[in-house]
Structure formats: structure tokens, C-alpha cells
Structure 1
Amino acid sequence: MANSPSESHVDVLIIGAGPAGLMAATWMSRCGIKTRIVDKRSTKIFNGQADGLQCRTHEILHSFGFGHRVYAETNHMLEMCLWNPDENGVLRRSDRIPDTPPGLSRFVESVLHQGRIERYFIDSLKEHDITVERGVMPEAIHLDESVDPADRTAYPVTVTLRHLTEDQAMPAECRTHGSGVQSGLFRSNLAKDDTDDILNAAKANPRAGSTEVVHAKYLIGCDGAHSWVRRQLGFAMEGEQTDYIWGVLDIIPITDFPDIRMRCAIHSVSSGSVMVIPRENRLVRLYIQLTTTEKGGGDYDRSKITPETILKAAQKIMAPYKIDYEYCDWWTAYQIGQRVGSQFSKNERIFLAGDAVHTHSPKAGQGMNVSMQDTYNLGWKIALVAKGICKPEILKTYQSERRRVAQDLIEFDHRFSRLFSGRPAKDLMDEEGISIEDFKAAIQKGHLFTTGIGVDYGASMIVAKSGDTAAQGDGTDVSARGKTTREIVGKQHLSSVIKLGMRFPSFPVLNQADARQWHFQERLPSDGRWRIIVFAGDVKQPEQAARMQELGKALARPDSFLRRYTPEDAPIDSVIEVLTIHSSPRRSVELTDFHEIFRPFRKGLGWDYWKIYVDDEPYHQEHGQAYRRYDVDAKRGCLVLLRPDMHVSWMGELEDVEELEEFLDRFMLNA
């Protein structure tokens, strides 16, 4: 008689160990959530795949403590060159623009191949006792829909996992070919889904690996564009596929093209387009258009796509400049399509993220970034619900916020990819051609979106904006429930820069205790805590000092929300951290001028010297001018509530503590 499958319990099971899955696991590791992450492939990526890292992604990676390692290894892209045919049809450089507009972030767009990025995640996870389990895939899933969503002790998701043999977990196309060049076609949308083939082969093989049953509180499906989890839920992908086919080469180029170490958009007269992405280690990535018809071109013969055919297309587009290579690190091809999942979650117990719910062209550098930002949005919500800090209702905001972002991304990518793939207009009467000025304008207008800095979450129970929550999101109602619940709206007029629903900007400030300058986002690690930022204003003015003392007393009351949300044996800042920035001259202020709640004391550790900051002149760097750049009144200040993902949740005056408490009570739980 065969042995019964083993059974286990876990808080969160993550299917898929690509960037989205690794980001989700990283949140769980920081919040102490019992987690498993599995992937059907027997090995991580070593070459190619996604490579662009946008500004917001760098901010997120730094918030987890390993972003500095990534940023140091990446190639930073500072300028973009536009190449177009002149009046005689000869390819010329038509413009230079900044790749990342100055002032958006302390980081710029950069590139590093996906395998290296995943390695940094994996190393970080190991430090927190989470290891990716490879050669493991789900073969059955069941959700007990009768379980109360508020029941944190229940395990309503049951998944049967199959452990694969080495051969089963390694797709044939993943193996290195005789040429020594690794192909990425097995992950391309031109390749058919191999999940069912692997499962069927595993079940039929008497030597196949074992199965086990995992009971989970939550499941996150990050298993790619062919998502098995999505198919089991019956969710559809909505959108369209074009006939545009693009090839990709990662090569060390031998060329006389002058801007090969710049990001370039190259439009030829009639042979298609090329995007040049300068990479690390002398590599350059070329995105090369293989077909020039958006619709009606018919099926493309996949067998005809080789590195040689892709190179020939690039040579034709870039003529009269010559380009060749002796070393190719990786290559692939894909078909442009824009699709969004019909739903991102099932009963707030099973969630989908990344390519499983949105697919688009890679040339705007959004795929990996938006995928990671999906689970950066989702991870802290699941973690805080699982820990009993937040109410389960906040999980509804994941679909509302991220599906809306995906819809906006598809709309942007639809315009951008067609502008990039279309041929230049010959003259003003050429209605079928694309305007190069329109293409440039689309790039410049899209910077806020493509960098990730402009993500703006709509009104919800955790974003105190006015208006209809369904209309500002993806159609999901994510308002605070209850007939007596009044609308609470943050006071946006207190700053034109700190915007409700958007990520909190970062400017340099000084630590009051030791005069060290910090970019303020460096003091906002992704550790699951909410944060109240107290812009204390000019605390040397008696009236402002009195306001700050009253605020301190209100926060320190035995029945204040800081006490109610915090477990009895935990530090007062373990659920909500209070950070202060004042505008008085640093030398005129002492830490003892501030109420103890702003610099809490811990037995054995003393006073916390890393809670109070000042907008003042440093010794060795430029003045951060934080109050001016945040556009906050330097005399009166304000209060700002930040979510664990650094997005602004609420804003008010120093006296608005009762309103802040009422707002927090809608989604926070008493300890």
C-alpha cells in the first residue's frame, strides 16, 4: 500500500520564485511570517530575462537592506538618444534627453540581469531562514470558502505539491545549445505552456518524486504568464495580442554605432525599430523588431527565430552603421500583447501577482518592476493581517490598487509600443506613420509612470482621500464599512509635494543627536511598521513648543492608539513608529525639549537617539532644504501617516490626533 502524502501547515505559500514571488517572501521574512516558496524549475536564472530597475524599485530594495549591493553592480542609464531618418532617409541622432528626469528620486534607472537580482533576494531570504524549494510544483488546489475571512487561525487553502525529478524540472529549451548561447524562448510568450506536460509526465513516471499536502492561510500565485494558479481559479486574461514580433540579443557588440553605450530608440525608414540598452560587463541588450505589421501578419514561424536572424534584422535597421558580435550571452523573442487579469484575488485568501495578471511589452522597463511592486503592495497587508495587527478587510485594497495600476500600465504600453514599433511618418500628410515628436513626448510624459514614482493609490479604508473608492480603483468597493462611518479626508492643502496615496518623497535631514545626514527614506525600512511623521516646525517658538507638548501628551496617554495597538510586552514603536523632523537650528535644540514619546526609553538600551531629525545645514554635504522641498510650513508643521510601503495614508494638523485615531481604528486591531 502506497504511503499517504505528508501534510504540513504554513501561514503563506508562494508559488513561483521569480521577482514577484521573492519580493513577497522578503516581506514575510521581515515580518516573521511562516512561509514557503516553491518553483517548478530546478535552478534559478543565470542569464538574460528582465534587466531594467526603475527608481521606485531601487528605493524598495534599499528599504530591505540590500539595495546598495544591487545599485553598485548595475549599469546606470543617464541619457537617452533618439535616432531617426533625416529628410534623405539617412539615420541620424535627432535628440538627447535625460533617461531619468532630475529630482524624481535619489536613484536613476539602471540595468542588471534578472538572475543577479534574484540572487540578492535569495541571499537575503537565507539570512532570514527562508529557502526557495526548487523542482516543486502544485498539482491540486482547494479553497474552503466557508471559512470566515476574519479567522486568523484557519488554514482554508489546501495545495497538493509534487516534487519533481531533476529531468522533469529542467525544460529542454533551458539547456545550453551546442553554440554555447542560452536561449530564453522557453519563458517567452511564443512558447507554449509546459506545466501540464510536466505534471502528466511526473504522474506517469513511477520514479517521480513524492507528493505532499500543504495547508495554508494564504496562497500567492506568482507563477508567470501561463499561471497554473490563475487557471485553477478560472480567472481570465483580458486584452489583445498584436502581430509585432521582437527579438532580443544580449551581446558584446562590435560596432561603429556611436551611442552603443547609451539607451537609444532607433527608428528606421521601413525596416522596423531597435532599442539599445547598455548593460553591465560590456554587454548591450538589443530589442529588435522582426515584423512591421501590427495586425494581419498571420502566425510567425518560431523555428525561423535564431540569434542570426535577429542580428540580421538589427543590421538592416541600424544601417549604414555596422553591428556584429563574437559573444552572445542570451537571446529570446516575444510577441507584443497587452492583457490584464479579470481578478487578482479569490476570497482574499488566494492572490495573483506579476505576469500571472498582467502582460505587456518589455521596452518601457515595467515588467519586473511592476511585478515586484505588486507583491510589495500585497506582502505587508497579508503579514499584518496574519499577525493580528490589521483587519482582514485591508486585503481587498490589493486588487483595487494594483489592478488599477495594471490597467494604467496596459493603456500606457499600448500607446508606447505602437509608437515604438510604427515606422516614422514621411511628412505631415503621412497618416499611417508615427510622429517622432509624439514619440518623444510620450517618453517625457511617461517618466512619472515608468519610474514608479507616480503610482497614486485611490481612496480606500487605508488612504484618506475624498471620493468614490470604486471609481478611483479598479471598481472594487474598498471604503470603510459601517453606517455611522463618516468620511475622513486628509488635509492635502498642508503640502503640495506629500500627496495622499503616493509614495513619501525623500530629502536629506540631519539626526538631532549626532548631526549625521540621512536621506529620510533611509529611516523608513520595510519592516511592517506604520509610521507617523511629525513635522514639528519651529520648536523654539513658544506657541509651537506648546503644540508639540500637547501632541506628546495625547500620544503618550495610557489609552492612546499607540498603546492599544501594541502588545503589552512589545516596545511602543513596534507597530507604529513616530519620527520627528523639526525646522529650528539644530544647535539651539536639545533632545530633552521633546516629550519622551518622541524619543522612547527602553530598559537596557536607554533613550532612542534615532527618532528626531532636523532640517539644517550639515558639515560635509549640501543643505537638504527638507521643509521647503516637502512644501510644509516651517513654523507650524503637520502630521503625516505612512503605510508600511511608504505610501501616504493620511495628513493633518498637530491637533488632529482624534481624527487620526478614528481613521486608524477602521483597519487596525487592538492588541
Structure 2
Amino acid sequence: MPTSTAIKESNIDVLIIGAGPSGYMAALWLARCGIPTRIIDKRANEVFTGQADGLQSRSLEIFKSFSEDCFDWVTMDQAWKCANQMQEISFWSPNEDGIISRNSRIPDSIPGISRYTESVIHQGKIEEWFTESIKQFSGGKIQVERPYLPVSIKIDEDKKDAQDYAVEVLVKKLSGDAAKTEQFGSKVANGLFRAFDGDQDKYYGDGIGDEDPNDFEIIRAKYVLGCDGAHSWVRKQLDIEMEGEQTDFVWGVVDIVPITDFPDVRLRSAIHSKDHGAVMVIPRENDMVRLYIQLKEVDRDPSTSDAKREFVGKVDDKLAKTKGRIDRSKITPETILKQAKEIMAPYSIDMTDNTWYTAYQIGQRVANAFHKSNRVFIAGDACHTHSPKAGQGMNVSMQDTFNLGFKLALVCKGLAKQEILLTYEGERMKVARDLIAFDHKFSKLFSSKPQVPNAKILEGEAAGVEMDEFHQVFLQGSRFASGTISDYENSLLINKDGSTHKENSGDFNALASKVPIGQRLYSDQILGQCDHRPWHIADRMASDGRFRILIFAGDVKQYPENMETLNKFNDSLMGPKSFVTKYTPVNAFYNSVIDILTIHATLRNDIEFYDFPEFTRQKDFKKRTDYWSLFTGVGKTHADNVKVDIYETYGICKKAGAILILRPDSHVAEVVEFSVDGLKKVEAYFDAFMIDQSKNILPEKPLDVIDSDRFVKPKLAV
């Protein structure tokens, strides 16, 4: 190893290792919040095709939250516009004659759970939109640096301050040939190299050879995030184990344009054959279709029978370890399609325009820790792996860092205590374990032989899976799979102590009886007081690092005392001792840390904009009025005459009102009463983890500055 004195050195707030979906989401958050960040990846090129393709409702909501109307580039919500939006799923299983037949069609997503449905588009396009948005938000300062290989990582435990550069990572610049994404035994693009144990160790071992100091760099970071996949180098350096199961079910995946007479090829379809296994049909963008096919006969590589596996736990197939790994050289698109033909008979299927394929073994594993010393974190496949049929891999991975990203931003900006980072493991490990439990049940049912109606069962023969049971598991799992019901428990950032009742769907406060505390806020329409423009409330709470206080003031005309309460709020929120002022840097925009929205329940034409107190329509340093923080939650839209009543949607009384505190990731942190005492509870919430900013004095903003770019630049504490 070269001497450290000869190696380039640098400092950065956050270093992200791995440019997959979770790494990109982290970089997007940090760029949006103005945090100095670097993201490195050992691959010389981006994803060209294939890999993950399913986007669940919550991921599409998150993409929209980074896609404000004022942005003039191709933003993240392009995914919804370009993807194949799936509306139905059909179920096929053997009839009494053993021939596959359709037994039901149901909505692919739970109706009403989100304004988005499950959609499909390949990961490479998503990464393109990530790249462009990160570039725009960071002014070109943050981009994926390729190909860089991490060599060593060290945490200095003596550095206790949250702003210390406590993590040192030695990285090496690779040659293009060494970092080229490897294919395996076919002219068709495939993911076989990345799909099985052992490759990563070999890759890292081969990658460290040349000792030229110019190839190395020491990066010192306040925080490091390992988003480097299922065989994570970062996880191994932290001695974090993966716990769970590895089955011996082998599935092939192929992306094709089908030539077929199967009637449901443009629906998501689950097909169970009598004797030949199962296939999942996923219609994709343009005229492509992805097939997930259970492979019955797969050759093994005997030389790998004693290969070390990097997880602890049991293996369903007792002979799996002695069989060795899959012989990938024997897997081709043709062998995968051959199996599909047998499953889908008597319907025919052939292929053209085959663009990608892979194979994998199903395993369900979760890391036993998601961080080390509250300085180095792992996310995505680095801390949980599972089968892809429920469409969760890319989604849960991105949602991991959507959870962590804003917390890192708040800490790096010196706005919040470092302790908030500890909430990441508790919140996302529960999601990961719930995912594994669902996937274990779903994949086992999917991979098992189906029951044939009225068939005689021979002595000693298994009855097979009842298809009604499979349907019920799918239906039960759809709500979870959507990603919209992730429920975070009590912590520094969530307070459920005020909840009045608990249901299967979550914890609730009677003041907002349909709003589950700890979950993301369901979005419904509101109307601008100044212009009657319809807004989805989520679109007024974009992902930019700010907390939101939603003041539901009720009907201020029918109940004049509600307007009196708002006027009392004005004294608290506009004064020099306001908690909003306390936690906002001096000379920063008044709403750049805590953004307050007021949603009343009076018809818009029955009250005037300037009837409301000043805090609902504040002016900035140039005396520009904020017209977009005051709304009515009731009425009708002009264009399509649609009824608007967000009070009904959220279960809020138009007389009593309520106050909701939302985290920057739009999860409901607390529900309190609409009163002066309720506002004091809001203050107590922030007092628990925020840092006084009265001595953090930013330069005064010059009155002659032209700052129309403020809508695109970071908004957090500026």
C-alpha cells in the first residue's frame, strides 16, 4: 500500500458508496438540501437495461415530491408519465382437466390508497432522471464518480462532534477495463454476474493491484452511506451479518417482445401450471414484457459446492450447499423461454427483441444492524434481500434512503442533534422484517405446486397450494407492497403518545381520526385562498428538507373564535421568541426550516385573503408576499366541479380543527389540538431534537439581488 503522505486527501460531509437506487435517492436528498456530497461507484458505466423495473405507489409519490412545477428539466415524475401503468392482475391456475385457465382479475393496486398505481419502467431510465435532478439541485457539483473502488474504511471513535470528519475511506481509481460491468456467457445483456454469491469478493480482490499513489485518495467524511448491493463491501467491513433463509428455488427472468396468443399478456398475470411450475407476466413500457419463470432443471457448478455463503441462517433445501452454485453458463434466454412455453400451454409464446435476462435464487435476509457508531450506514440491498416478484427491491431500497437522507441533511447543516440518525435503523429495520415475512409467504406460495380442483390425492402426495389462499396472501400484501403504510413508531421524530385509539391500520388521534400517526400523509386536494387553484396538498410539501406544520383552523366564519385563535398564534409565531425563529438561522428565509400552512374550512368566496393574520401570508426580505401558505380545504374546483373537503378526508371537525406536524419525508409526526396549548406542544416537539440557531448568522441578503433561481436552489436553512 502506498504511503499516506503521497496520497490525495479530501473532506466531504457525506460519502455515498454505490450508485444504485438507494445511493441515487440519498444523493438526490442531499443535493436538494445543499449538503456537500460525493457518490462513487465501482462500475465504469450506468445500468444499460434490465435489473429492477417495478415502481410502487409510494415511490411514485416520492418522485413527484422532487418534481415541482417550476422545474424546467426532465424531473423524477417522468417515471409516471413514461412507465407502463398497471391496472389489473389476472390469476391463472389448473382447471379440473389440469389446463391453465383464468380464475379472476382484480385491481393491481388497492383502489384509493394513492393517486398513483404500480408502474413498470427499467432502472436505467430512472437513474437518468436521478442524475439530471441531482445535477440541477447541486449546480453540477454532485455527480457519480466512476470507477472508484473503496479499499479501506476506518471510524475515529474519538471524534464525538457531529460535524467532525470522523470516517476515513481509502479509495482507488480503477481502469476502465477493470471496472467494466461483466456479462456472462451471452451476447444478450444479462445480470448473471451480479446475481450470485462470491463474485464481489473476487472483484474486490482483483481490483487492488497497482500501487501508484496517484490512483488512490483518502476521503474523510462526517458520514458514510453504503448502498453497494447485496454483497456489500461496506457491510462486511462493519462486521454486520445477514440473517435469514436461502431457498433452492431458481427463477429465470427475461425481457422480450412476446409473440403469443395468451390473452392476458398485457396484464400482470400470475400463472401456475399443473406440473411445470409458475410464471409471472409483467407488461412493460412500449411493447415489452418481462417474464419471471420458475426453472425446474438447473445445472450446478460442482467446484462451488463448498463455497462460503455470506449469511447466517437456515437453507430450505438441505442439499443446497453441497449442490454448489448455479452453472450460469448453462442459462440462456432460450432455456428460460422453453420453461415458459411448458407453463403457458396450451397457449403459445415465442420471443423477439430479447434485451436482457438473468437468473437468481430466492433468499430472504435482513442485516442485524443498519449502522456502525452512528457514522456509517447501510441501505437497500446491503441490508435486506428478497425475491423480486412483489416488486419491492428498488422501492424499499429508495425508501430506506428517503428516510435517512433528510436526517443526514438536518445534522450536517447543524440544525438537529445527531441522535435523530438513530431513528433510521429502528424505522427501516421494522419495514425490512415485515417485507421479509411477506416475501417469504408470497414466494413460497408462488413457487409451490398448485392444487388441481377435484383431483385425487395419492397417499403420501402433497395436496398442493390452494389458489384461493394465494389470492388472499396477494391481496393482504398489496397494501404493504404499495409502500404507503410504512408505520414508524415512537422516537425523537414521532410522537404517538397523544393518540386516542389504535386500529389495524395504525394509531390515531380523534382530532384527525383518519390520519394515522407515523405514516405518510395521504394526499387530497385543497384550494388556494388567493387564486382558487386546486393543489394536492402533497405538492405543496415538496421534498426539500423542511418540516411542515399544518394548521387546520376550521370554519373561521361560522366559528369566529377560530379566527381569534389564529390571531393569538400570530403573536407567538411572529415574535422574536418564536420557536420558528429559534430554529431558523439568522437572515435565512423565515420558512426555510419550518414551513407553516394554514388550511381553513370556510368557502373561499366568503372570506378575504387579508382577513387572516400576518403569519399566514408572511413577507420576505424584499417584502414579497407568500400567497401559497393559505388555503381552504372545502369547496369545488372550477374546471371539473369536483368536491373538495380535506376535513372529511382526514376526519377533522370543522369547529374543533387540529394541528398536524409533518416530517420532511411527509410522515405524520404528531397531531395536537388547534389551540394555544396545542401550539406549545408543537414547540415542545421541536425542542426535543432541534438546535438553537440564534448564533448561526448568515450573510444578509442584498435587496438588489435577482434570486428567481431560489425555487430550484436548496431551500433548507438558506
- TM-score normalised by length of structure 2: 0.87
Give secondary structure in 1 for the equivalent of 2:635: coil
Pairs aligned (count): 644
**Cα distance per residue 1:260-304 (max 9 Å; x no partner):** 000000011121100000001211000000139962564343332
Q: Is the 8 A contact 1:36 1:132 kept in 2?
A: yes
Q: Is residue 152–residue 386 contact of structure 1 (8 Å, CA) maintained in 2?
A: yes
2:292 alignment partner in structure 1 = 287
Aligned to 1:473: none
The more displaced of 605-614 and 407-416 is 605-614
Letter in 2 for 1:556: M
Q: Aligned residue for 1:629? A: 649
Letter in 2 for 1:153: Q
Equivalence map 1:339-378=2 (5 Å):
339-378=365-404
Q: How does 1:536-575 map to 2 (within 5 A)?
A: 536-540=553-557, 541-575=559-593
Moved more, 199-208 or 386-395: 199-208
- Aligned-partner Cα distance in 2 for 1:587–1:467: 35
Partner of 1:669: 691
Shift of 1:147: 1.6
Deviation at 1:616, TM superposition (A): 1.4
Letter in 2 for 1:646: S
1:627-652 C-alpha deviation (Å, 9 max, x unpaired):
11111112221000000000000111
Aligned to 2:635: 616
Q: Secondary structure at the match of 1:183?
A: coil
- Report the Cα distance in structure 2 between the residues aligned to 1:490 and 1:260, rounded to whole angstroms: 41
CA shift in 2, pair 1:450/1:209, >3 Å: farther
One-letter amino acid of the structure 2 residue matched with residue 558 of structure 1:
P
Note the C-alpha offset of 1:208. Answer: 9.7
Structure 1 residue aligned with 2:147, among 135, 147, 157?
135
2:79 aligned to which of 70, 78, 92: 70
**AA partner of residue 152 (structure 1):** A
Q: Which amino acid aligns with 2:189?
A: Q
1:352 is displaced (CA, Å) by 0.2
Contact map agreement 1:49 1:114 (CA 8 A) in 2:
yes
Task: Tell me the equivalent position of 2:540.
Answer: 523
- The code of the aligned residue for 2:464 comes to G
Alignment of 1:434 onto 2:465 = yes
Which residue number in structure 1 is paired with residue 9 of structure 2?
7
Contact residue 76 and residue 133 of structure 2 kept, 8 A: no
Work out the CA distance in 2 between the residues paired with 1:467 and 1:399: 24
* 8 A Cα contact 2:95 2:452, kept in partner: no
Q: Does 1:311 align with 2:321?
A: no
Q: Given residue 169 of structure 1, which amino acid in structure 2 is its aligned partner?
A: A
> How many Å separate the matches in 2 of 1:559 and 1:445?
49
Q: How far apart, in 2, do the equivalents of 1:56 and 1:216 lie?
A: 31
Aligned with residue 91 of structure 1, among 97, 100, 113: 100
Partner residue of 2:674? Answer: 654
* Aligned residue number for residue 639 of structure 1: 659
Cα 1:186–1:642 shift into 2, 3 Å: same
Q: Which amino acid aligns with 2:562?
A: Q
Q: Which moved more, 1:491-500 or 1:638-647?
A: 491-500
Distance 1:654 1:553 in 2: 15
- Relative to structure 1, the CA distance from residue 88 to residue 491 in structure 2 (aligned partners, 3 Å threshold; closer, same or farther) is closer
- Which 10-residue stretch deviates more, 540-549 or 327-336? 540-549
Corresponding residue number in structure 2 for 1:31: 33
Structure 1 residue 182 corresponds to structure 2 residue 189: yes
Distance in 1 between residues matched to 2:441 and 2:297, nearest whole Å: 16
The correspondence for 2:198, drawn from 187, 192, 201, is: 192
SS at match of 2:342: helix
1:389 matches 2:394: no
Distance of 1:13 and 1:205 partners within structure 2: 24
- Contact (CA 8 Å) 2:552, 2:657: kept in 1 or not? yes
Q: Deviations over 1:453-506 (max 9, x none)?
A: 1110011121111499xxxxxxxxxxxxxxxxxxxx997111232111000110
Q: Secondary structure at the match of 1:223?
A: coil
1:586 counterpart residue number: 604
Aligned to 2:480: 449
Q: Which residue of 1 aligns with 2:513?
A: 496
CA gap 1:136/1:28 in 2 versus in 1, 3 angstroms: same
Secondary structure, aligned partner of 2:517: coil
1:422 maps to 448
What is the alpha-carbon distance in structure 2 between the residues aligned to residue 138 and residue 421 of structure 1?
Answer: 38
What SS is found at the alignment partner of 1:423? coil
Secondary structure of the residue aligned to 2:682 is helix
What residue identity is the alignment partner of 1:168? A
Secondary structure of the residue aligned to 1:168 is coil
Backbone CA RMSD of aligned residues: 2.0
Identity of aligned residues (%): 48
- 2:551 aligned partner: 534
List per-residue Cα deviations over 1:156-208 (Å, max 9, x = no partner): 1000010000011014327xx664x10111221x25323x4344434334689
Q: Which residue of 2 aligns with 1:459?
A: 490
Distance 2:105 2:213 in 1: 57
**Aligned in 2, Cα 1:580/1:236: closer, same or farther, shift over 3 Å?**
same
**Equivalent position of 1:486 in the other structure:** none
In 1, Cα distance between the equivalents of 2:352 and 2:532?
A: 53
> Partners of 1:628 and 1:136 in 2: how far apart?
53
- 1:557 Cα deviation after fit: 2.8
Maintained 8 Å contact 1:348/1:395: yes
Please state whether the residue corresponding to 1:253 is helix, strand or coil: strand
CA distance in 1, matches of 2:516, 2:688: 21
Opposite residue 310 of structure 1, the aligned amino acid is: I
1:210 equivalent in alignment to 2:215? yes
Instruction: Kindly report which structure 2 residues correspond to 1:229-248, keeping only aligned pairs within 5 A, or say none.
Output: 229-248=234-253
Shift of 1:332: 0.2
> Within the alignment, does 1:51 sit opposite 2:61 as a pair?
no
Distance 1:204 1:264 in 2: 49
Which secondary structure state, in structure 1, belongs to the residue aligned with residue 178 of structure 2?
helix
Counterpart pick for 2:170 among 148, 160, 164: 160
- Any conservation in 2 of the 1:243–1:296 contact (CA below 8 Å)? no
What is the distance in 2 between the residues matched to 1:433 and 1:287?
21
1:59/1:67 contact within 8 Å kept: no
Question: Which whole-Å deviations, capped at 9, do the CAs of 1:20-61 have from their partners, x for residues lacking one?
Answer: 000000011011100000000000001100000000000101
Aligned partners of 2:638, 2:147: CA distance in 1, in Å? 54
* Letter in structure 2 aligned against 1:453: T
Amino acid at match of 1:339: R
SS at match of 2:129: helix
Report the equivalent of 2:696.
Answer: none
From 417, 420, 436, the equivalent of 1:410 is 436
Structure-1 separation of matches of 2:494 and 2:329: 50
What's the TM-score, normalizing by structure 1? 0.93
Give 1:105's aligned residue: 114
Q: 1:395 to 1:48 in 2, by over 3 A?
A: same
Q: Structure 2 vs 1, CA of residues 394 and 271 (structure 1 numbering), >3 Å: closer, same or farther? A: same
How far 1:605 sits from its partner (Å)? 4.9
Q: How far apart in 1 are the matches of 2:267 and 2:613?
A: 53
Kindly state the Cα deviation for residue 626 of structure 1 after the two structures are TM-superposed.
1.4
Residues 1:168 and 1:227: Cα distance change in structure 2 (over 3 Å) = same
d(CA) in 2 for partners of 1:297, 1:417: 20
Q: Determine the C-alpha separation between the residues in 1 that align with 2:637 and 2:183.
A: 56
